[in-house]
Amino acid sequence: MPQGESVLPTSERIVLQGNDTVRLMQLVVDDAQPYFDLIAFDPEHLRQNDDDTADKYPDVASVQQSIENPAKPNKYRFGIWDGDAMVGSDNLTLEGKGKAELGSWVGKQYVGRGYAGRGRSLLVDFAFHTLGLDEVHCDIVVGNEASRRSVEKSGFEFAGEFVDDEGKHKWRYALQRKVVA
C-alpha cells in the first residue's frame, strides 16, 4: 500500500491503548447508547462553539444509524473511554495525499481532565505509525479557546485561519509526522 494511503477496516474493532487508563475504541452499534448519553447530558455544551453534534444525533437511533451507515466512509470514528465509561469522541477523516483531519469532543461532565489530549495522542500515533499519514490537522471554530489550548498542548502548531464551506471562521492547527533519517 502506498505511504499515506489506507483502507478502512471492516471486520475488527480497532482499539488504541496508551500507557494509562484512556483508550480509543472504534465505534460499534453497541456504543450508540453511551455516545448518546454523553450528548444528552448537556447538549448545549456541544452547541456552544457552533458544533452540530447534538443536532445531528437527537436520539439513540440516529447515533446507531450513523455507526451502521456512515455519512463519510473515509472516517475512523472512536469513542474515548476511561475504564468502562465513554467520555468523548475522536474522529480521523482521511483527506488523501497523506493528510487527515482530527476532530474530538468530550462530554461536559468530563471536561478538564485531559481526555481530549490523551485521546488525540493515541489517534495521532495511529495516523502516523499505522496509517502512514504525513500530516494531521485540527480545525477549530475561532473563539473556542479550550480546544485551541488543548491542541497546542498536543504539539499542534497554528497553520492559519480560514472560512469553511459553511461560512464558519476557523483556526487550523497542524502536526507533521517526524521522519527519522
Question: In this predicted structure, what is the pLDDT of residue 72?
Answer: 85
Residue 107: predicted pLDDT: 95
What would the pLDDT profile of 106-162 be if each residue is shown by its tens digit?
Answer: 999 999 999 999 999 999 999 999 999 999 999 999 999 999 999 999 999 999 999
**Overall number of domains in the chain:** 1
The CATH number covering residue 51 comes to: 3.40.630.30
- Average pLDDT along the chain: 91
Does a structural domain hold residue 174? no
Query: CA 144 to CA 2: how far, in whole Å?
Result: 36
Residue 42 lies in a domain: yes
Q: Is residue 113 part of a domain?
A: yes
Closest residue by Cα to residue 90 from 71, 75, 104, 108: 104
The per-residue pLDDT for 12 is 86
Which range of residues forms the domain containing residue 30?
Answer: 15-132
Is the predicted pLDDT of residue 48 greater than 90, yes or no?
A: no
- 23: cell is 483508550
Name the residue among 171, 54, 149, 173 with its Cα closest to residue 107: 54
Lowest mean pLDDT among 24-28, 41-45, 137-141: 41-45
